[in-house]
Amino acid sequence: MYARRRRLYFAMMGTCVVLFVLAWGVVRLWSVPAAVGMCVVAMVIPPLAAMIANRRGPDDRWWDDPSGDPQSDEWWDELDGKKRR
């Protein structure tokens, strides 16, 4: 799971860099508005890449991890129905 998210993150960030380089290295020679549009698209990619890289998948069981406080963990287990008295 982690490796797939990491590859997707680097692919998105690579696309962002390529868009910037192409926009101001090549596309601006023919159309400045198109280059600006490419930069706007590239500007949106990093926040989306960060959200995708940090999201939890269905296999990630982060909500089951104990917090370290035995009283709090016991209370949450009781609410979740794990420990029935």
State pLDDT tens for residues 13-46: 999 999 999 999 999 999 999 999 999 999 999 9
Q: What one-character-per-residue DSSP string does 7-76 give?
A: HHHHHHHHHHHHHHHHHHHTGGGT-HHHHHHHHHHHHHHHHHHHHHHHPPPTT--GGGS--S-HHHHHHH
Closest Cα partner for 12 from 48, 36, 37, 63? 48
State pLDDT tens for residues 68-85: 788 887 887 787 777 655
| Its pTM surpasses 0.85 | no
